[in-house]
Structure 1
Amino acid sequence: MNRVEKSEDKFIQLFGEGVTPAHVADPDFQDILSHFIFGEVFYQGNLDDKQRELITLVVLTTNQTLPQLKAHVSAGLNVGLTPVEIKEAVYQCTPYIGFPKTLNAINEVNEVFKAKNIALPIESQKTIDDDNRFQKGLATQVEIFGDVIRKMQESAPSNQKHIQEYLSAFCFGDFYTRGGLDIKTRELLTLCIISALGGAEGQVKAHVQGNQNVGNDKGTLITAITHCLPYMGFPRTLNALACVNEMIPQN
């Protein structure tokens, strides 16, 4: 198939029979969009459609492009994502974009779920409590980044130690320890989230190393960042790729 045929086939797979892009007002633009995203980018690299839709969901959440997010919640369900996986991907954005933006995205997800008669709330994926969230979060951090995390906590200035503690308990305790998505998937989604933010290259580099530590190889990272391209543009894509190449040089 050529890219036009591929884009039509993929679009129907994601959004259903009888649904076509809106070509009435901007047909040239819609052709460029559809053929590039669904005829080229979706076929590049080693990720399956479920992984690609998870990435799309977190980048659209980060960018707060909510109408498109809503459409891709339906697309994710169409390619086999579970309601739990969709919710967990959106929840994973919280430490990086904040609660208000995540709540905006959750509202869109819930509207789709209600329209499809998916019962709310979905089953809890919580695995921690107030007594162990810090220790379990710290253990997850160390699993991803190594013992350097303990050294960072020990060397933090006394008036900033609470930030390191929040990072362990909140980011990694409250979110990374949840069920529904494994560590490799959460770490890959985090790389995409902070790449889409822009201006967070220090954190992108750290999470490139974290991804490598949990088993996501360079090819997977390049494919994931490439999949972000249509949603976050070339400047942030190229910046993220530069971080990957710096942390994992070509052999």
Structure 2
Amino acid sequence: MISSRTAAVMTVAAALLGAAACVAPSSEPGVPPLTGSVWELQQIQMSDGTLLSADPPEHYTAEFSEDGQVFIRADCNRAIGQFTATADGQVSIDIGPTTLAACPESSIGTQFLQALDNASLYFFDNDDLFIDLQLDSGTMQFSSAPTPALVGTLWKLQQIQMNDDTLLVPDQPEHYTAEFLADGTLLVRADCNRGRGQFSTSDDRSLEVSPIATTLAACPEGSIGNDFVQALGNADSYFFQDGNLVIELIYGSGSMQMTAD
């Protein structure tokens, strides 16, 4: 998980890398642009005949932002880098700091990061993104998944997974919601209580939530309303996975998973 300290290092590294992307939208109707999607890896076909399949694809993703950043999930690790892309299909990716969790033996996370770092050209075929590697050494194939918006979506809690293996699952997800508004206001339903706070985000996907003021009704036994409010107040960073919002908590203490209403 990416801590506040790691996120700060990533921000500095991104500033040093510096170059902004120049991405021209595709002129072909129905073909997605490079930005605006979470690209899920399908496979890496190397020129020596080696075929690396992503299992599952949603664990190997790249999201290219309009400001020239690329957000990467490489199985159990995450990274932020910079990219440049031109209208004639050239692409260059510089990967910044990466988390260093030990992924399962079957993981292809290391090969995925190496391939991204060797990106040379990109093109689309049947809505899939293909990235050719330097020296004709191979090709990566991705399929797109729409990127949801943090702001303007009503998010329903699916679970809170703590690093001590505590798993909190709401009986009624619609009773545990968060709505991030464009003016920086956070509206919360925590079971039988309602709350309001302020939030801020940055380009590296860090998320900070001010103390949330809530009503003080006594909710039924089994409610996780207090845990929900506490977890939101401990937000550190966020990312999207399978259309869901995942909020990492400070000090690597856990994560929350939420789905769009």
Which of these two proteins has the greater Rg computed from alpha carbons?
Answer: 2
Query: For this structure pair, what is the TM-score category when the shorter chain's length is used for normalisation?
Result: under 0.3
User: Higher relative contact order at CA 8 Å, sep ≥6: structure 1 or structure 2?
Assistant: 1
Higher strand share: 2
Q: Larger helix proportion, structure 1 or 2?
A: 1
